[in-house]
Amino acid sequence: MKSIAANILGSRTDAEDAVQEAMLKVYRGASSFRGGASVSTWLYRILLNTCYDHLRQSRRRANAEAPMPPEEIAAAAPKTGTPDHPLRLSIEKALGQLEARERTAFLLCEVEGFSHREAGEILDVGEGASRALLFRARRHLQKALVASGAFSPAGAP
Partner 1 sequence: MKATCADLERALSGGEPELFSAFEAHAHSCTKCAAELAGWRKIADAAPALRKKWDSPELWPAIRQRLAEESQTPAARKPPRTWLRWVPAAAMAALFGIAAAGLLVFRNSGGRDPLVSHWQTTKDPILADTAANEVEAAEKSYVESIEKLSRLAEPKLAAASTPIALNYREKLAVLDSAIADLRASIEQNRYNTHLRRELLTVYREKQKTLQELMKEVKS
Among residue numbers 35 through 74, which ones bind partner 1 (CB under 8 A)? 38-43
CA dist 84 and 74 (Å) reads 9
Q: Smaller CB distance to partner 1: residue 58 or 138?
A: 138
Residue 122, CA distances (Å) to 15, 27, 75, 109 in order: 18, 18, 28, 11
Q: Using the rule CB under 8 A, is 145 a contact of partner 1?
A: yes
Q: What are the DSSP calls for 18-64, one per residue? A: HHHHHHHHHHHTGGG--TTS-HHHHHHHHHHHHHHHHHHHHHH-TTP
Question: Please, what is the angle between helix 39-60 and helix 12-28, to 10°?
Answer: 130
User: Nearest distance from residue 65's CB to partner 1, in Å?
Assistant: 17
Q: Using the rule CB under 8 A, is 75 a contact of partner 1?
A: yes
Q: Using the rule CB under 8 A, is 151 a contact of partner 1?
A: yes
User: Nearest distance from residue 59's CB to partner 1, in Å?
Assistant: 22
**Interaction site with partner 1 (CB under 8 A):** 1-3, 6-7, 12, 15-16, 19-20, 23-24, 26-28, 30-31, 33, 38-43, 75-79, 82, 84-88, 91-92, 95, 106-107, 110-116, 118, 131-132, 134-135, 138, 141-142, 145-146, 151, 153-157
